[in-house]
Amino acid sequence: MHDAPKKIMLVAGESSGDQHAANLFLELKKSCPNIQAIGMGGQKMAAAGVDIHYDSSAIGVIGVIEVIKRYAEIRRALKAMQQLLLAQRPDLLVCVDYKEFNFKLAGFAKKNGIKVLFYVSPQVWAWRPRRVIAYGKVIDMMAVIFPFEVPYYEKENVPVRYVGHPSVDKVRPKRTKERDFAAFDLNMSQPVVGILPGSRTDEINRMLPVMLQAAEQIQQQIPGVQFVLPQADSVDDALLQALFQHSNIKVKAIKNQFHDVVQCCDAVMTVSGTATLEIALLTVPMLVAYKLSTLTYLLAKILVDTDFIGLPNIIVGKAAVKEFIQYEATPHNLAQEILTILQDKHYAQAIRDDLQQVKRKIGAGGGSENMAKLVLELLA
């Protein structure tokens, strides 16, 4: 008699988590073709073959006010996942990022005797280090993606494994830069500036207007400048078009070709998040800008203990790229920084040199592969 195929539950709440979970499941199927996966996520997980019981695109929010606004929807999602856990009793629950939600779900799974693997550690070095102990109580293993995270867990005797950052393998443009310029109908003799306002509706509404106003100021100084926006599949066309209407700037929104679009850029304006790391791995000079609702920002100032919010700066431990947070994230400040990058070759090169350090520090790839091995180990 054959053993029943193993079943895992994957739960992701945002576009980067959806991608990590999809890559993990594709990797798992290579060594364990009959493995099954159910859970919560987006289009990438569905395409990888995960049976999606709850589409996470409605609940990918950041910030206290934003969470309160979507609270009913987030509660509904949590309830649905708890019921799914009890009904299906998977061999392993894999929580991918989406910290607060997955922390609650992990606690529920643990109470009901289901093994829990947490993938992508909460940023405990920045956000209440004591939380390591709380996470230790609800998980069987923490898989971290930065080498410097391991000691935080080891110190409290929480099982931890460094699996490597999934972006390292993923950051591969599909074409040469020359071919991308042709494909995107860009002029190689004029500078290209990337606009990355995030993948969540709240972020885009808050940051895109600021970035477009900065773009207008840049264009006044450099008339031939070209603007591109790599559009994630979770971002609605109508949302972008509505915001573009208020601007005189022509922006090329290009879907699902993030790395190819970024490699064409001479400079990028981006929000914080995984995107900053991927831009760093492509060694493209950038600035990081971020605005939260006032209440969220004030709470973050009390709770967060870190000098930087951009991953490249956190990894190299210095301001490799400029950060403009909250009141500093003005069109004028963003425009001035991008103009400096475009017009001062030595300044741009110094940023590139620092970004090379990010590549060195983050180590070898194999994140999804190492993660798949860890899943199989826990299933065994």
User: Do 183 and 307 reside in the same domain of the chain?
Assistant: yes
Strand order through the sheet with 251-255: 251-255, 226-231, 192-196, 267-270, 286-290, 323-325
pLDDT, tens only, 228-251: 999 987 788 888 988 988 888 999
- CA 158 centroid distance within chain: 25
- Residue 97, in any domain of the structure: yes
User: Do 233 and 318 reside in the same domain of the chain?
Assistant: yes
Asked which of 36-40, 66-70, 306-310, 346-350 is least confident by mean pLDDT, the reply is 306-310
User: Do 215 and 347 reside in the same domain of the chain?
Assistant: yes
pLDDT, tens only, 15-41: 888 989 999 999 999 999 999 999 999
- Residue 299, in any domain of the structure: yes
Mean pLDDT, residues 289-297: 74
User: Do 160 and 25 reside in the same domain of the chain?
Assistant: yes
User: Do 282 and 343 reside in the same domain of the chain?
Assistant: yes
User: Do 283 and 372 reside in the same domain of the chain?
Assistant: no
Asked which of 78-82, 132-136, 279-283 is least confident by mean pLDDT, the reply is 132-136
The CATH number for 45's domain is: 3.40.50.2000
User: Do 161 and 299 reside in the same domain of the chain?
Assistant: no
Mean pLDDT, residues 254-275: 94
| Both tokens assigned to 91 | 């061999």
pLDDT, tens only, 81-112: 999 999 999 999 999 988 889 999 999 999 99
pLDDT above 60 for 126: no
pLDDT at 1: 40
> Phi and psi of 117, rounded to 5°?
-115, 125
Q: Is the pTM of this model over 0.75?
A: no
State which residues form the domain around 94. 7-165+364-379
Tell whether the torsion through CA atoms of 278, 279, 280 and 281 is positive or negative.
positive
